[in-house]
Amino acid sequence: MRNRLALPLVALLVLAACTANNTTTGGSSAAAFDPSSVSGTVVFSGWQASKDEGVALQAALDGFKAKYPKITVNYQPIATDYATAMAAKFSAHQPPDLFYVDSSVAPDWISQGLLYPLDDWASSRNFDTSQFFPGYLDAFKGQDGKIYGFPKDGNALGMAYNKDMLTAAGITAPPTTWDELVADAPKLTSGSQKAFCLSSTLDRELAFIYQNGGALLSADKKSAAIDSAASKQAITWYLDLFKNGWGDTPKNLGDDWCGTSLGKKKVAIIFEGGWLDPFMKSTYPGVNYAWAPLPKGKQAGNLGFTVSYSIGKDSANKDAAWVLLTYLTGPEGMKLWTQGGVANPSRKDVPAPAGKEVLVAGAADAHPWSFIPGFSKINDAFNNAMTAALEAKSDDPTKIVNDTKTAIDQALNS
């Protein structure tokens, strides 16, 4: 009698134990996921560009600690070259549990199988991703359509202009279209002062290419679109700003980037993102500048620069990392991170910090700064060809387009 009951009883117990196991590790969608029940240590890594960032991040981590006291966050920022250090950790199959991924290298890291896909958990654990600006979230979509990271913040480009210089030139309102920009340029160029500091790189010019209806790649990312007529037109237009003497690269102005040129009052207008504000506040507080949206071409267009928090495929504490991830990229954590003004929110439901409304509004038209694996060579090809064109004082886009297209074809076929 005992023997005949023993087997089914044992089987029942095993079944009960299995389902109980599944609930606590959160691997099955059968039971609801309770983040407060997760405990452990999360190894959290990234880089820190400035001290202010460290302070803001600590505020967010303190908020996390208060809400989820069972999880300990072991914050280990990487001070050396981030990609090199992460390459070593990935190769050792010991990546941190949660770490930064820059949007421009996200396609490479995703295609190498280094990141953990988050779609299943987002739906089974009820994390709402609809509030992220698509220009930021789509940067972390793999070629399989899955999401491999959530954007921790985002920056679109804006037009920062020196209010005093515009007033002195008799311009009452900053230009809102390409034509107005070109009309205002000669008025702002006089003596050693130039109208613009312009970066000779793809990460600025591409915004204008999008505005003219062009693009770097086709919509399905399977072929180049840089050789379209619209793209070529936009490149010529940008090169003409240099050729006509209205703008110059920061290097030729003697500065490391355009922020310094604006600070030293060498130029009236620059195109940068929210990272300009902490820099100007600490280094050139006396400059009276303001933000305006990028002047519009045939359509509005912008670039979305962002970094994600991602979980590694080989990360040890994925559940605890998930709780930290959803807190930091959820409305509560993101508010703590962005309210000081060091970064701009990547979610629509987090209010823009004071003074950043223009920059956050730019996110609506932003295209992700994230393309295909092997992008770094495409970026270098474009930038080098543009430098060559500027040195030759030409506005001919042919070599730029050809070199970039060659690099794109090579990357697509590798």
Partner 1 sequence: MAGGTATAASPRRSLGQDRRQEALAGYGLIAIPMILFLVFQIGSIFFAIYISLWKWGPLGPTGLNPFRGLRNYETILGDPIFWKAVTNTLYYTVIWVPLTMALGLFLAVIVNQKIRGQTFFRAAFYFPAIASSAAITTLFIFIMGPDGLFNGLRQAAGLNPLFQLLGFGPTYNWLGESRTAMNSIIILNAWTTSGTFMLFYLASLQSISHEVYEAAAIDGASAWQTFWKVTFPLLRPGHYFVATVAVIGGLQLFDQAIFAGGQGGEPNNSLTTIVLFLFRSAISDFNFGYAAAVGIILLVVIMAATLIQRRLFGQAPSW
Q: How far is the CB of 337 from partner 1 (least distance, A)?
A: 27
CA distance 399 to 340: 44
Q: How many helices (H) and strands (E) does the chain have?
A: 18, 11
Contact 310, 102 (CB under 8 A): no
Q: What DSSP designation does 73 have? A: E
Query: Contact residues for partner 1 (CB under 8 A)?
Result: 81, 83-84, 87, 90-91, 93, 105, 108-109, 111-114, 249, 251-254, 313-314, 373-374, 376-377, 379-381, 383-385, 387-388, 391, 406, 410, 414
202: number of CA atoms within 13 Å, CB side? 24
Shortest distance in whole angstroms from residue 384 CB to partner 1: 5
| Minimum separation from the CB atom of position 143 to partner 1 (A) | 11
State the Cα–Cα distance between residues 375 and 369, nearest whole angstrom: 10
**CB of 102 or CB of 138, closer to partner 1:** 102
- Nearest 10 degrees: Cα torsion 99, 103, 108, 114: 20
Q: Residue 97 or 277: which CB sits closer to partner 1?
A: 97
Note whether 344 and 360 are within 8 A (CB). Answer: yes
Shortest CB 78 distance to partner 1, Å:
13
Are 147 and 129 within 8 A, CB to CB?
yes
Q: What share of the chain is helix, strand, coil (3-state, %, to 5)?
A: 45, 15, 35
**Residue with Cβ nearer partner 1 (99 or 161):** 99
The two three-digit tokens of residue 325, written as one number:
């991830």
Exposed/middle/buried for 393, CB within 10 Å: 0-12, 13-18, 19+? exposed
Closer residue to partner 1, CB minimum distance, 233 or 370: 370
Q: How far is the CB of 312 from partner 1 (least distance, A)?
A: 10
| CA 374 from centre of chain | 17
Nearest approach, Cβ of residue 307 and partner 1 (Å):
16
DSSP string of 268-312, one letter each residue: EEEEE-TTHHHHHHHH-TT--EEEEPPPB-SS--EEEEEEEEE-B
Minimum distance from CB of 90 to partner 1 (Å)? Answer: 4
Angle in degrees, 0-180, between the axes of helices 331-338 and 318-328, rounded to the nearest 10: 60
Q: Which is nearer to partner 1, 212 or 383 (CB)?
A: 383
The least CB distance from residue 305 to partner 1, in Å, is: 17
**Cα 287 off chain centre by:** 27
**CB closer to partner 1 out of 167 and 410:** 410
* Closer to partner 1 by Cβ: residue 155 or 199: 199
Nearer to partner 1, 70 or 251 (CB): 251
One-letter amino acid for residue 390 of the chain: L
Least distance in Å: CB of 306 to partner 1?
18
Nearer to partner 1 among residue 22 and residue 384 (C-beta)? 384
Q: Of 249 and 308, which CB lies nearer to partner 1 in the complex structure?
A: 249
DSSP state of 138: G
**Is the Cβ of residue 82 or residue 291 nearer to partner 1 in the bound state?**
82
Half-sphere exposure of 192 (CA within 13 A, CB side): 7
Pairing of strands 98-102, 302-310: antiparallel
Nearest-approach distance from CB 252 to partner 1, in angstroms: 6
Q: What are 177's strand-pairing partners?
A: 296
Distance of closest approach, residue 310 Cβ to partner 1, in angstroms: 14
The two three-digit tokens of residue 119, written as one number:
């779609």
- Secondary structure of residue 141 in the 3-state scheme: strand
Supply the angle between the helices 331-338 and 51-67 in degrees, to the nearest 10. 150
